[in-house]
Amino acid sequence: MSSTIAQHSASTTQIVRPARSFQGSVTVPGDKSISHRYGMLAGLAEGTTKLSNFSTGADPHSTLGCMEALGAKVVKNGTSIEVTGVAGAFQQPTGKLDCGNSGSTMRMLAGLIASHPGTFTMIGDHSLTMRPMERIRKPLSAMGARIDLVDGHAPMTIHGGPLKAIDFETPIPSAQVKTAVLFAGLQAEGTTSLSEAVRTRDHSEHALKAFGATLSRNGEKLSIAGGQKLKAIEATVPGDISSAAFFLCSALLFPDSNLVLDSLGLNPTRAALLDVITALGGKIKVLMVEEHHGETIGTIQVNRAEELKGAEISGALSAQLIDELPVIAAIAPYTRDGVTIRDAKELRVKESDRIALVAKNLKAMGAEFTEFEDGLAIPGGQQLHGAEIDSGSDHRIAMAFAVAALKASSENVIHGAEAAAISFPEFFQFLNELAKR
């Protein structure tokens, strides 16, 4: 693809032309979720943690910046990161902790620092100040932390001090809330328990164990004893399956596609995406699989079956696929049977109102659909045309509609394309290499 990047109002524009096939091999950047957790626990641990294939996205680097401000030492050499931790005692930062665009940083780090004496104020960009933070204040306050918010939003000020264990039931499926409670429980007095009706991604459990913590699961209930110390590790971060989702969906668009994804994270709590790709008509072959620190890593090959079918995504599946739903919705018009997404109201409070932006851009490309408060119903058998795409400065929207553009009848212009760098700076480069024209 010959891509054009132009500057306009401090935003970059990417032109994506239709493709005739999608083929090649690629290794996606390190998993954002795991990079966050390894970076935080390394900062708290004793010793120097060595991480390879650390995420290239901006968000986990906001986490590393916060760890430095809290007294950890961070050395970066490309995607290799060394973090020398504070051995359990964060220092009082000289300024505010800047979380950038990262809700993960703000929510999870709140749990990690709540037990430390001092006052910690976390700030972020405009988008982050719109995201709900009350969901973590409630359990952390129950543990004894004092947290100030502005109408339930950032900036967030934590007045740290001793915490006591709680028995908590998560009101909404949220791996970030679960993590905040586990991180706080690690440093609380007593044993903290947490129950989740819908099981969310378990990277935090694996990461805590990797750094030497003991925690147990009994059915829906997780328990972690307080007063545990963490030790540095050496680890390789698996490739990010949420980033791979854009290429998996691209491969579905073309009958002769052939995509190989190397060193990909295949954690079972994230692999629901692969089930949906298969249900839509993808053929997935696992070429290699191994385990590192509890995380499954493998190489997979993806081809397309005869035609794209359709899917109905709701309930627990919507929670498991929350990051991947925008790109699934973006290719839905090209399926035979269409895609219906419900129980995904959480999409409205992400980096943008993702339901509204998906609807806006589908409409711009000529698609018919029905928008609900908690999702979308998108009929199949539609041909989309080129349009002006509004990313809303949201990385997943910019990338989702770059994928939809591959099968459109004419070129699409994506405004705010630079947002992709939040999670996947190399996205447009890789897409250009894999899309055959």
| Domain enclosing residue 334, as ranges | 5-29+238-436
CA distance 220 to 182: 14
Domains of the chain: total: 2
Q: Is 167 a catalytic residue?
A: no
Whether 409 and 291 map to the same domain: the answer is: yes
Find, among 191, 200, 214, 131, the residue nearest to 170 by Cα: 200
Residue finishing a domain among 205, 235, 265: 235
Whether 223 and 245 map to the same domain: the answer is: no
CA angle 22/25/28 to nearest 5° reads 105
Set 323, 337, 374, 390: catalytic member:
323
Whether 23 and 149 map to the same domain: the answer is: no
How high is the pLDDT of residue 1? 32
Whether 99 and 243 map to the same domain: the answer is: no
On whether the CB atoms of residues 332 and 380 are closer than 8 A, the answer is: yes
Query: How far from each other are the two terminal CA atoms of the chain, in whole angstroms?
Result: 7
Per-residue pLDDT of the chain (437 residues; tens, 9 = 90+): 333 333 333 689 999 999 999 999 999 999 999 999 999 999 999 999 999 999 999 999 999 999 999 999 999 999 999 999 999 999 999 999 999 999 999 999 999 999 999 999 999 999 999 999 999 999 999 999 999 999 999 999 999 999 999 999 998 889 999 999 999 999 999 999 999 988 889 999 999 999 999 999 998 899 999 999 999 999 999 999 999 999 999 999 999 999 999 999 999 989 899 999 999 999 999 999 999 999 999 999 999 987 899 999 999 999 999 999 999 999 999 999 999 999 999 999 999 999 999 999 999 999 999 999 999 999 999 999 999 999 999 999 999 999 999 999 999 999 999 999 999 999 999 999 999 99
| Phi, psi of 44, rounded to the nearest 5 degrees | -85, -25
**Listing from the earlier edge strand, what are the strands of the sheet with 80-84?**
73-77, 80-84, 48-52, 234-236
CB atoms within 10 A of CB 288: 11
On whether the CB atoms of residues 64 and 97 are closer than 8 A, the answer is: no
Whether 41 and 157 map to the same domain: the answer is: yes
Q: Structure tokens of 326?
A: 């925008």
Whether 194 and 287 map to the same domain: the answer is: no
Phi-psi category of 156—alpha, beta or left, where left has phi over 0 and alpha has psi -120 to 50?
A: beta
Residue finishing a domain among 235, 257, 290: 235
How high is the pLDDT of residue 335? 97
How high is the pLDDT of residue 333? 98
Residue carrying the six token digits 């504070």: 86
* 305-320 b/e (C-beta count within 10 Å ≥ 16 → b): eeebebbebeeebbbb
Whether 136 and 204 map to the same domain: the answer is: yes
Q: Structure tokens of 258?
A: 């052939």
Whether 55 and 202 map to the same domain: the answer is: yes
CB atoms within 10 A of CB 50: 16
Torsion over CA: 363, 369, 370, 372 (sign): negative
CATH number at 255 reads: 3.65.10.10
Whether 388 and 268 map to the same domain: the answer is: yes
Whether 135 and 265 map to the same domain: the answer is: no
CA distance 78 to 187: 32
How high is the pLDDT of residue 103? 95
Whether 211 and 339 map to the same domain: the answer is: no
Residue finishing a domain among 206, 235, 264: 235
What is the longest distance spanned by two Cα atoms in the chain?
61
Q: Three-state SS across the chain?
A: CCCCEEEECCEEEEEECCCCEEEEEECCCECHHHHHHHHHHHHHCECEEEEECCCCCHHHHHHHHHHHHCCCEEEEECCEEEEECCCCCCCCCCCCEECCCCHHHHHHHHHHHCCCCEEEEEECCCCHHHCCCHHHHHHHHHCCCEEEEECCEEEEEEEECCCECCEEECCCCCHHHHHHHHHHHCCCECEEEEECCCCCCCHHHHHHHHCCCCEEEECCEEEEECCCCCECCEEECCECHHHHHHHHHHHHCCCCCEEEEEEEECCCCCCHHHHHHHHHCEEEEEEEEEEECCEEEEEEEEEECCCCCEEEECCHHHHHCCCCHHHHHHHHHHCCCEEEECCCHHHHHCCCCHHHHHHHHHHHCCCCCEEECCEEEECCCCCCCCCEEECCCCHHHHHHHHHHHCCCCCCEEEECHHHHHHCCCCHHHHHHHHEEC
On whether the CB atoms of residues 157 and 145 are closer than 8 A, the answer is: no
CA distance 318 to 329: 12
**Listing from the earlier edge strand, what are the strands of the sheet with 375-378?**
310-313, 338-341, 375-378, 370-372
On whether the CB atoms of residues 269 and 85 are closer than 8 A, the answer is: no
| Cα separation values, 192 from 109, 110, 230, 307, 408, Å | 17, 16, 17, 49, 51
Whether 108 and 156 map to the same domain: the answer is: yes
